[in-house]
Amino acid sequence: MFSYLQSMNAFEIIFIVIVSLYLFGKYLMPILLKLFVKRMQKKMFGQEFDFNNFTNQATNPGNNEDATINTSNTKKPSGNSTNIGEYVDYEEIK
């Protein structure tokens, strides 16, 4: 096998690499992408995902009594907020 590769010129090697990448992208990549998407869907939603229940929860948020909102009192920065800097008038140079 290696003696055949040594006898090939650079054009033949580049041609084989380009054709193999083209065939991989055209035939194998869509299959691999579908398998990847299906696996991710199973990971994200589980095998039994109830879409109707999901939309009901999203449209009726008042039914969820477990939700809590934590607020903290943050202090406003002290100091004079009107003194933010000096105004600089720029002139356009043509």
Residue 55 covered by a domain = yes
Select the more confidently predicted residue: 23 or 65: 23
Contact 13, 21 (CB under 8 A): no
Assigned domain for 11 exists: no
Residue 31 lies in domain? 22-59
Instruction: Evaluate whether residue 35 is within a structural domain.
Output: yes
What are the pLDDT digits (tens) for 46-64?
A: 655 556 665 555 555 555 5
For 23: left if phi > 0, alpha if psi spans -120 to 50, otherwise beta; the answer is alpha
The answer to whether residues 31 and 25 touch, using CB atoms and an 8 Å cutoff, is no
- Is pLDDT above 80 for 30? yes
With respect to residue 15, please indicate whether it lies within any of the assigned structural domains. Answer: no
Please give the model's pTM, rounded to 2 decimal places: 0.37
Q: For residues 17 and 25, give the distance between their C-alpha atoms in angstroms, rounded to a whole number.
A: 12
Supply the pLDDT for residue 2: 63
